[in-house]
Amino acid sequence: MSGNLVHTIKDVLFPDRMLLWAIMAGFAIRIAVAPWTSWTYDTYPFYQGIVDQLAGLGPYGHMVYSYPPAFNFIEYPFSIILALFSDPTQWVTFVPSMVEVGRVTNMVVPTVTSPGFNLTYKLPLILADYLCGVLLYRFVRKIKDEDSGRRVFILWFLNPFVIFVSSIYGNFDVLAVFLTLLALYAMYSRRYLSAGLAVGLGVSMKLYPLYLGLFCFAYLVGQVIVNYRTRDDPMGRLKNPIKFIAGAIGGASSIVISVLLNPSLMVFINGRMSNNDMGGINIWGLLRTGNVLFNGSSALPQDEFTLVNTVTSYLMFLILFLILLRVFMMLRSSHERHEEQMIFGSMSVFVVLLLFQPVTHAHYLLWALPFLLLCSLYQHRFEHIVFALSVVGVVFWLALQSYMAFLYPLSVYTGAVPTDLINQVVVDYYAGSMGISAEGARIIPTVIGVGALAFALLPEKLDPAKRLMIFLRGRSHEE
Amino acid sequence: MRNKLVLALTALVAVLMVSSIALSGGQPSRPTLSFEELSSGHMVLGYRIPCSNYDQSYSALILGADRIGHGDIYVLITESLDFDVKVSLYTMVDHLNNELRSFGVDSVSSVIGSDSLPKVFSDPQAILICGPSTSLPDYFAAPALHWVERGGLWIGVGESSVPFMYSQSNESNPNATMRLDFTELSYNGGVDGGPTPMATALGFRYVAPDNAFELQDLEALGGRSIGFEYDRDGLLGTAGVIHIGKGSVMVMGGDMGPPPLSTSEEVLAWDLEKVLAFNVPWWTGELTYQIVSSDGSAIESALNSSFTYNGLYASYGVVPRNDAVQSCAVGHYSR
């Protein structure tokens, strides 16, 4: 019995011996960089949430951790283990010399977490990177063949952008990405309860999987309506959306319980719903870029709180409308291509969200990456889009304050790089005294990123990049 | 496989549900305090801090005050404020409402506009917090000062946050009668600076506001410095208290800007919570404190103080100095 269980686990987690080298290389790179790198601005909230948890206050004890609680709960056992070897008082160091840098860039917190803490809190993210890769492999093997599965696994697990987000920058988007991918896998396999559970669990990590949930639910309800006259079991037809919604509610139950026990979470949810900023790699970032180029100002034309709130509210309606439009198109199309439509539909949900939501930080591009990889099985051009977005994601982050801003843990805890040197480089880079300003360095990745996302939404025959390639090939043949 | 996926996901849901019940937080067990005045001015604070899984560091302190307790907290947000300051003030209200309870303070914080100021001025127990560059019209100066004299507590963060005070860059208000100049603070890694005894005792973290007030102006107004002090071609202070009539004005440097954890609203709120819990705005006597630590074992000790000033009250307690232990206790003694 236990032998069977071990065999099953091995089969699920390590499905292909030929991937061993890629797995070992992927883990080795991640474990090597994770302890010595961090983005201080976003790491400190994780630290505070974890130590508040250890202190018995819950994740929101000091209201610094501002995400749904599930990530904190997942981190808890890891932090307990770390605390056996290193007291929490040693997990963070206040570095006075970083205060001035923080004043200049507004993206440095003068509190640097230790290598042990960095590695510990990134471990679940590294594991989720791997689980995503394995799921992609199994998914692709199911759709196509093992060779394609291996290719997609490598494109994911050894992708510098994926490594960067989880192991260097250190944000936990990949946990939600894994659950949304699992939801699609379950939808594809017509396991609607599992799909709902995965979406609900995804929402308990980050709020954005809610959009995939709306898409799936709309699709299932749409199927009930479309098939109303063709089947003779009306109650049976309702089962699928009911299963899905029951799973989603169950999956998100940890949020409900947390809110009931600690209403502080609502402060953050309300805060995120009334976002006051717009930009990043989306159409608003493109507007901002246009303003930089033509008016020399990075501010959006409208920055008043109420106006931005209104615009944001309408944007949400626009996003929902586009999602429903996509569902409508799917339901109108051939039923024989249900699975393919589901994959393309999910991809377009995330791409629409990334393009139109108020803020699209570069690491959010990870949300769409596995879905774009799946689409590449049907249209090779999506591999180019994945390539472009991966480069854009890394370059955009590095362009914010230069790559040196990620090396503070290495500097503070080993002295390998003097902290004053990092401070100087970051300030000089940010101020533009090294020839190119931080604002200027983000223009090209923003334009390429938005372009790549927009191309992903176009039908293959209208994709200008593809038409250009065909044109160029034709020219070279003529010559 | 179908069942295995549902089972695996259900197991994860169950783990998160149990975690959200078990780990959503509450109030850690509090230290126990005993307080006694053995003879006039000679007071003893006995305390026992429960054991912890982690290293512990605590401050135990006693301070003399002329008044204890206060009413609700109002945070003024006006149209003239920068958008970022408005957001910071809203966030500060959330911090105060969430965290003050852990100090045993039951005041409620809320945001108000300037049209609600008459209501605040009718309550001499109330606390009003104003952000940097609030720049209330001059006609508020006299009623504001009158309210403070009757017992109100005005907490002004940064320049132009107290209507009856002026500075070199803001001298035009005829009803502003108290001068307090602010100067840009070059933090410079904290060189030539340090905490006052009060900042050390309470473990203040609002360490590097981007501007600070001239300490000589504070002293000229009869105030006491309670935050950090820096020597930058003259002494600058980050926080101070000035008693006016039955009330008090607490002035703080800064514009609530970046970076977090040294100048912005969360550390400002954390420091204010301790200030309010220990009645620092009414601090008129002396301060005695000690810092104790352990490897996680329980701490049982006593703090002796010999106050020469016969204040009306003593506030005492223990507060944590590191993040992973958070139990604290505060008490007050009427002499």
Is B294 in the A-facing interface, judged by CB distances under 8 Å?
no
Which chain B residue shows the shortest CA-CA distance from A58?
Answer: B25
Give the DSSP per-residue string, A126-153: HHHHHHHHHHHHHHHHHHS-HHHHHHHH
Closest CA to A194 of B2, B100, B165, B46: B2
Dump pLDDT digits (tens) for A64-74.
898 888 999 99
How many Å apart are CA B31 and CA B289, to the nearest integer?
A: 16
Give the list of residues 6+ apart from residue A424 with CB closer than 8 angstroms, or none. Answer: none
- The residue ranking higher by pLDDT, B41 or A345, is A345
- Cβ distance B113 to B78 under 8 Å? yes
Domains for chain B: give ranges and CATH numbers. Answer: 32-64+286-334 (2.60.40.10), 69-278 (3.40.50)
Residue A154's identity, in one-letter code, is I
pLDDT digits 0-9 by tens, B133-178: 898 999 999 999 999 999 999 999 999 999 999 998 777 778 888 9
Q: Which sign, positive or negative, has the C-alpha torsion A144, A150, A155, A156? A: positive
CB atoms inside a 10 Å sphere around CB A222: 17
Residue B94: its chain A contacts at CB < 8 A?
Answer: 63, 264, 267
Cis-peptide, bond into residue A88, ω within 30° of zero:
no
Q: How much is the pLDDT for B101?
A: 86
B117 — pLDDT class (breaks 50, 70, 90)? very high
Residue B26: pLDDT band with limits 50, 70, 90: confident
Structure confidence at residue A237 (pLDDT)? 73
pLDDT of A270: 66
| A56 interfacial to chain B (CB closer than 8 Å) | yes
Q: Chain B, 260-289: which have a CB under 8 Å from a chain A CB?
A: 260-263, 266, 270
Closest Cα partner for A165 from A394, A450, A368?
Answer: A394
> Sorting pLDDT into bands at 50, 70 and 90, what band is A335?
low
pLDDT at A422 over 90: yes
CB contact, 8 Å: A20 with chain B?
no
Residue from B2, B18, B23, B295 whose CB has the most chain A CBs within 10 Å, to mutate? B23
The residue count for chain B: 335
**Residue A477: pLDDT band by 50, 70, 90 thresholds?**
low
Which SS3 state, helix, strand or coil, does residue A103 take? Answer: helix
Residue type, B230: Y
Which of chain A's residues have a Cβ under 8 Å away from the Cβ of B15? Answer: 73
* Structure confidence at residue A275 as a pLDDT band (50, 70, 90): low
Average pLDDT of chain B is 92
pLDDT digits (tens, 9 = 90+) for B280-332: 999 988 899 999 999 999 999 999 998 887 678 999 999 999 887 778 999 99
Average pLDDT over residues A210-234: 82
Query: What tokens does A96 get?
Result: 């006075």
Q: Do A55 and B53 make contact, defined as CB atoms within 8 angstroms?
A: no
Does residue A261 belong to the interface with chain B, where contact is any CB pair within 8 Å? yes
Exposed / middle / buried, residue B90 (Cβ in 10 Å: 0-12, 13-18, 19+): middle
Report CB contact under 8 Å: A251, B98: no
Contact list, A308 vs chain B (CB under 8 Å): none
Which tens digits make up the pLDDT trace of B220-261? 999 999 999 999 989 999 999 999 999 999 999 998 888 888
Q: Enumerate residues 408 to 437 of chain A having a beta carbon within 8 A of any beta carbon in chain B.
A: none
Question: pLDDT higher for A420 or A254?
Answer: A420
A300 pLDDT exceeds 60?
no
| Cα-based distances in Å from B324 to A154, B29, B54, B239 | 40, 14, 7, 26
Judged against a pLDDT cut of 80, whether residue A337 lies above it is answered with no
Q: Which residues contact A312 (CB under 8 A, 6 or more apart)?
A: A274, A275, A278, A358
Residue ranges of the domains in chain A?
Answer: 15-171, 188-274, 276-401+442-479
- Give me the mean pLDDT over the A290-317 stretch: 65
Identify whether the C-beta of residue A178 lies closer than 8 Å to the C-beta of residue A125. no
Shortest Cα distance, chain A CAs vs residue B311, angstroms: 33
Q: What was the ipTM of the complex prediction?
A: 0.91
Residue A278, pLDDT above cutoff 90: no
* Beta-carbon contacts below 8 Å between A and B: 184
Are residues A99 and B263, on separate chains, in Cβ contact within 8 Å?
yes
3-state secondary structure of A163: helix
pLDDT in tens, A159-213: 999 999 999 999 999 999 999 999 999 999 999 999 999 999 999 999 899 999 9
Q: Find the closest chain B residue to A59 by CA distance.
A: B24
Whether the CB of B110 is below 8 Å from some CB of chain A: the reply is no
Q: What angle do CA A96, A100, A102 make, to 5 degrees?
A: 95
- Of all residues in chain A, what percent carry a pLDDT higher than 90? 60
For residue B62, give the H/E element and its range.
strand B56-65
Residue % of chain A over a pLDDT of 70: 90
Which residue spans within A352-436 are E strands per DSSP?
Answer: 359-360
Question: Any idea which residue has 């191309």 for tokens?
Answer: A455
Would you tell me how many other CB atoms lie within 10 Å of the CB of residue B65? Answer: 20
pLDDT band for position A260 (50/70/90)?
Answer: confident
